[in-house]
Structure 1
Amino acid sequence: MKLNKPLIFTLFLTSAAALPAAQENGIDKNSIENSETTAVNSKTDPADRVMPDLVQQQQKDIAQAQNSETDVIWLESGGQKQLALLQRAITSRPAGSILIFPDRSTSADWPSIVHPLRTQLPEYNWNTLSITLPGLPSEVVPQRTLPALQDNGQIQTSPNLTNGGESEPTADPAQTNGENEASNSDAATAEKNMANYKKLVAELGQQASSQLADVEGDIKIVLGVGEGATWAMHYFMQDTTQPDRFLVLLDPALVMDEHAPNLLQMISEAKVPILDLWFDNNSIRQQRAELRKRTARRNGNQGYRQIRLNLRSNDPRKEPLWLTRQLRGILKTHILDAQKPAQPAAEAMELTPGSGQFN
């Protein structure tokens, strides 16, 4: 079959003419869609876009997940609400209440330590109230000084030449003074931020303590976990007028900020009984525990007691209560039993023959 050359040529010309038209129509269509999208986006004011607060959302999720036996309380701190969870003792006459300060970056219902303690201790006649600490203040970003000046060519050179015949760059005195002022300003800002944070933590502790004032139980225990132990002790030492209060440090850790409260310094200044409970699972924790004990002894705190806790049990049947049972026994021995008045000694009786005592 022979091809019809005029027909093929005609089809080619038709296709070539239709292609630019299709491209032009596609461009126009895309341009219209982009214009409509731009018009819609332009109606949204950037100020109306609110970034979600993940921390607050997490606290709301935790609050909604609680059962009917847990009282959800919102404490006010620095214009933000912090979640607190109250669990009442399963008895009409509880021994007392325990205020729990959780570790850094955890919550009032952290599953590893806080949740078991706050939900299991009520089985042993204790009320528990776990709070949420606000996040630590953000680190101050140092101001740019020397690199920016180098980019602008503001580094002066000394007339003294090196062996290679090139001048050595020296810093401008004005530049050095500017660096010192910037460094001092950054340090002052960081110190101010931490001072505000200390105030917030003290206010949270006071509000939580007020919540426990209406709960049955005379003894009040402030318990801090990890870095929360530092903040628990900071709050505890702000008000020494409240009676029947005791401090428990559970696996305490230092807050790595030069402007934060110093745990060792507070231990050296404290004159109140302290229970220091720690886990002996590595050499670093052992060294820190020894340092805390020496600090307390050096400053004559006779009420300081340090107790090494047993590690987790390998028995899965004992695992859920491995820490609660230890803490319950320690509180009973060192706090509850110590509060009981001493029994009067029995007076010796002299029996004489014929007195009729055993008639």
Structure 2
Amino acid sequence: MPKRHPTAPGIAGLLLLVIGLALPLQAANLSLERRISTALDSPSLSGKAVWLENGNNRFLTIYSPSETKLSLGGALILHDQGTHADWAEVVQPLRKHLARQGWNTLALQLPATDTSPDATARLNLMEKASARIQRAIDYFDPQQQPNLVLVGHGLGAAMALHHLAKQPNQRVSAIAAIGLSIDPSDESDPVSQAIAQIEIPILDLYGSRDLPAVTGSAAKRRQIASANAREGYRQEVLNGADHFFSGMQSSLQQRIHTWLKRTSTIEEQN
């Protein structure tokens, strides 16, 4: 279960509700998501709240512009289940760090879920998130932001891979998947299929003390990439790190930024 880290004054009770309740009904989850997003969109938010429209629905994103004169590109950041777009571990630190390094970052609020969706619910969530990811991609003007990368944590990483497997003709140049898991026994697992299909570089980064579903499927993820000749796939393990890289945020940030800068199209732009 994710640690309970409120990130803005006055919303601690709401964030405990996010983690502690199992809300399988779609309507209840949508209502909960709206409450989370409204609470995050406050004067204390570090970054700019940007509400994007997806059909008749609106969802929150948090934008942090590059703090350097020359932008390296745009980075979309997708949070894990049971957390949110400004979570104090992984998501918020990465958003701020990448902005300091020259990236324009956009953290997406994904559909609210309980902490343990089954395979059917997981696929349903990935389908729902796909339209949001596409809308966020479209948010970055290709003329002003030609280089674009996705960074996902846990379920957010699975959502990013699933979306690009369905939409391969995107201008996304690389994906950093943090704490990714698959079902090694299920050949129809959508994330397994995505690893087999996606041709752009993928960083599969996890901690040695990560969740059992992550560490237990690492060899299978690597095997799938190798069997399908995915030369851009790279798997790395950060020794001592748990699923949220507690106490190791700096190491996580450095690994992600270094890999993104090396594998994306930055040098071609500049």
**TM superposition score normalised by structure 1:** 0.56
SS of alignment partner, residue 127 of structure 1 = strand
User: 8 Å contact 1:309–1:326 — kept in the other structure?
Assistant: no
Cα contact 1:100–1:224 (8 A) shared by 2: yes
Q: Write the mapping of 1:57-136 to structure 2, written as runs, cut at 5 A.
A: 57-67=35-45, 70-77=47-54, 79-136=56-113
Contact 1:230 1:261 in 2 (8 A): no
Q: Is the 8 A contact 1:94 1:216 kept in 2?
A: no
* 1:277 and 2:255 correspond: no
In structure 2, how many angstroms separate the alpha carbons of the residues matched to 1:273 and 1:320? 23
After superposition, the CA RMSD in angstroms is 3.5
Corresponding residue SS for 1:301: coil
C-alpha distance in structure 1 between counterparts of 2:85 and 2:70, whole Å: 25
Q: Please report how far the alpha carbon of residue 94 of structure 1 lies from its aligned counterpart in structure 2 after TM superposition.
A: 0.6
Q: CA deviation at 1:271?
A: 2.8
Q: Give the direction of change, closer, same or farther, for the CA distance of 1:294–1:254 in structure 2 (3 Å limit).
A: closer
> What amino acid is the match of 2:180?
P
* SS of equivalent residue, structure 1 residue 107: coil
Q: Deviations over 1:194-215 (max 9, x none)?
A: 7765543221111111112278
CA separation in 2, counterparts of 1:77 and 1:236?
18
Q: Deviations over 1:29-85 (max 9, x none)?
A: xxxxxxxxxxxxxxxxxxxxxxx9443222111111445x62211233474432110
Partner residue of 2:23?
none
The count of corresponding residues between Structure 1 and Structure 2 is 231
Q: Contact conserved, 1:99 with 1:128, CA < 8 A, in 2? A: yes
Query: Following the alignment from structure 1 to structure 2, what is the Cα–Cα distance between the partners of residues 231 and 332?
Result: 22
Per-residue Cα deviation, 1:233-261 (whole angstroms, up to 9, x for no partner): 11122322233521221111348xx9x96
Cα distance in 1, alignment partners of residues 33 and 95 from structure 2:
21
Secondary structure of 2:252's match?
Answer: helix
- Structure of higher CA gyration radius: 1
Secondary structure, aligned partner of 2:149: strand
CA distance in 2 between partners of 1:306 and 1:240 (Å)? 21
> Partner amino acid for 1:300?
A
Alignment of 1:42-53 (within 5 A): 53=31
Q: Does 1:203 align with 2:131?
A: yes
Query: What SS class does the counterpart of residue 85 from structure 1 fall into?
Result: strand
Distance 2:123 2:261 in 1: 36
From the two aligned structures, give the one with the greater helix fraction: 1
1:219 touches 1:245 (CA, 8 Å); kept in 2?
Answer: yes
Match of 1:321 in 2: 250
Q: Cα–Cα, structure 1 residues 55 and 241, in superposed 2: closer, same or farther, change >3 Å? A: closer
Cα deviation, residue 128, structure 1: 0.8
Shift of 1:311: 3.9
The normalised TM-score by structure 2 is 0.72
Higher RCO (C-alpha under 8 Å, 6+ residues apart):
2
3-state secondary structure, aligned to 1:235: helix
Unpaired runs of at least 5, structure 1: 1-51, 140-189, 313-317, 342-359
Query: Residue 209 of structure 2 contacts residue 239 of structure 2 at CA under 8 Å; is this kept in 1?
Result: no
- Mapped partners of 2:111, 2:125: distance in 1: 8
Q: Does 1:287 align with 2:216?
A: yes
**SS at structure 2 position matched to 1:106:** coil
Map of 2:196 onto structure 1:
268
